[in-house]
């Protein structure tokens, strides 16, 4: 049986279309359940999911008490899924569901993770593309996880889902974690379709925060950069120190105010930057040790037979 996890945030126009399309494509090939995870939508999304689940036994739903973000929604769906394999797909049909039968047969042929990889990035602004590119490069250089073209559109074997469910961390980054756990992976390319209805649910601010937290949850390189720049600065300080002493001994040490001002500015900003980076990691540690749940489920719909959905 295949479980399909579909995170949805304010997607009232897209739910019926997605359910219909998925059922149409999946019913000839396999048994399936559709788990819509309503990420605290403020529109009619949850009522539509509930109605659908009453009419159609394969539709199930979870409703969060507020918006916890797509990551929480994905992991809630993974916990609730009971299939032998689980697919994660966007609600807006930007991830073409026609690919699912191919992904399924790749899984049947032994792949444990089937990644759908973007062969084109669809309609995105130039700045957005630039940010995405530099973010992916940073992830690749610092943690050796290749996210080029990666999306959240994946099909995973039960083993992989169990491994992900066992991750104790709260600040997750599904796209990279599903790569980090390893397993036999196969990639299938797809073209990003335009959004079915509605607008993107990611503001620039939300995306930027997401990128920052993903980088810090996968690598300590930003902190090592501080150490390296400290070392470089120390070498520079020795050279300048020697010069200053020599000047002093030769009695020519009076002027040089610009140097002092520049040094204070540079040292000050590097120190503050360093403290900021360390502070950021500290705040992440703080968030993790508080051990708050990743999300809170306030309602359920349909017959969810997966594991306990608490965390």
Instruction: CB nearer to Mg ion: give 92 or 115.
Output: 92
Q: Which is nearer to Mg ion, 39 or 90 (CB)?
A: 90
Distance from C-alpha of 235 to C-alpha of 241, rounded to nearest angstrom: 10
Q: How far is the CB of 240 from ligand UDP (least distance, A)?
A: 48
The string of DSSP letters for 176-208 reads HHHHHT---EEEEEEEPPPPSSS--S--HHHHH
Q: To which H or E segment does residue 205 belong?
A: helix 204-218
Q: How far is the CB of 205 from ligand UDP (least distance, A)?
A: 12
Supply the minimum distance, in Å, between the C-beta of residue 202 and ligand UDP: 5
Q: Is residue 94 near Mg ion by the rule CB under 5 A?
A: yes
CB 176 within 8 A of CB 152: no
**Size of interface with Mg ion, in residues (CB under 5 A):** 3
Closer to ligand UDP by CB, 8 or 80: give it. 8
Task: Name which of 193 and 221 has its Cβ closer to Mg ion.
Answer: 193
Q: Using CB under 5 A, which of 13, 39, 92, 115 touches Mg ion?
A: 92
> Least distance from C-beta 197 to ligand UDP, angstroms?
11
- Draw the binding track, 180-219, toward ligand UDP (x: CB under 6 A; -: no contact): --------------------xxx-----------------
Q: Which of residues 58-97 bind ligand UDP (CB under 6 A)?
A: 67, 69-70, 73, 90-92, 94
Whole-angstrom distance, CA of residue 135 vs CA of residue 142: 11
CB 183, min distance to ligand UDP, A: 24
Cα–Cα distance for residue pair 33/3, rounded to 1 Å: 5
**Length in residues, the chain:** 311
Interaction between residue 34 and ligand UDP (CB under 6 A): no
Token pair for 205: 């601010």
φ, ψ for residue 114, nearest 5 deg: -110, 110
Cα(161)–Cα(86) distance, rounded to whole angstroms? 7
**Which of 200, 305 has the CB closer to ligand UDP?**
200
| Candidate ranges 4-12, 125-133, 166-174, 303-311; the one touching ligand UDP (CB under 6 A) | 4-12
Q: Around Cβ 48, how many Cβ atoms within 10 Å?
A: 22
Structure tokens at 232: 């470089």
- Detail the DSSP E strand segments found in 103-256: 113-120, 154-157, 185-191
CB 94 to Mg ion: min, Å: 4
Is residue 33 part of the contact set for ligand UDP (CB under 6 A)?
Answer: no
Hey, what are 116's tokens? 């759908």
Could you tell me which of 191, 286, 67 has the C-alpha nearest to residue 76?
Answer: 67
CA 241, CA 236: separation in Å to the nearest integer? Answer: 8
Q: What gap in Å lies between CA 201 and CA 10, rounded to an integer?
A: 8
Under rule CB under 6 A, which residues in 6-25 are in contact with ligand UDP? Answer: 7-9, 11
Give 200 or 259: the residue with its C-beta nearer to Mg ion: 200
Which residues bind to Mg ion, rule: CB under 5 A?
Answer: 90, 92, 94
Which residues bind to ligand UDP, rule: CB under 6 A?
Answer: 7-9, 11, 39, 67, 69-70, 73, 90-92, 94, 200-202
């Amino acid at each position: 049986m295949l479980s399909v996890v579909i995170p949805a945030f304010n997607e009232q126009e897209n739910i019926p279309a997605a359910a219909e399309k998925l059922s149409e494509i999946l019913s000839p090939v396999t048994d399936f359940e559709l788990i819509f995870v309503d990420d605290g939508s403020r529109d009619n999304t949850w009522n539509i999911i509930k109605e659908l689940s009453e009419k159609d036994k394969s539709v199930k739903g979870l409703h969060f008490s507020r918006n916890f973000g797509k990551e929480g929604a994905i992991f809630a769906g993974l916990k609730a899924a009971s299939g032998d394999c689980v697919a994660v797909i966007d609600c807006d049909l930007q991830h073409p569901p026609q690919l699912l039968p191919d992904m399924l047969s790749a899984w049947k042929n032994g792949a444990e993770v089937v990644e759908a990889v973007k062969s084109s990035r669809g309609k995105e602004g130039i700045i957005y593309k630039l940010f995405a590119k530099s973010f992916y490069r940073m992830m690749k250089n610092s943690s050796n996880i290749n996210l080029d073209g990666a999306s959240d559109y994946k099909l995973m074997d039960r083993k992989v889902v169990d491994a992900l469910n066992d991750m104790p961390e709260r600040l997750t980054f599904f796209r990279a974690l599903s790569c980090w756990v390893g397993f036999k992976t196969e990639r299938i390319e797809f073209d990003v379709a335009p959004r079915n209805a509605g607008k993107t649910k990611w503001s620039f601010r939300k995306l930027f925060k997401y990128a920052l937290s993903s980088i810090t949850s996968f690598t300590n390189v930003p902190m090592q950069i501080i150490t390296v720049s400290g070392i470089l600065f120390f070498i520079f300080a020795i050279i300048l120190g020697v010069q200053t002493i020599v000047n002093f001994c030769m009695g020519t040490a009076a002027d040089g105010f610009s140097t002092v001002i520049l040094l204070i500015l540079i040292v000050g900003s590097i120190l503050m930057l360093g403290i900021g980076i360390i502070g950021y990691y500290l705040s992440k540690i703080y968030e993790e040790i508080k051990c708050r749940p990743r999300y809170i489920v306030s309602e359920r719909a349909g017959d969810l037979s997966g594991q306990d959905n608490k965390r």
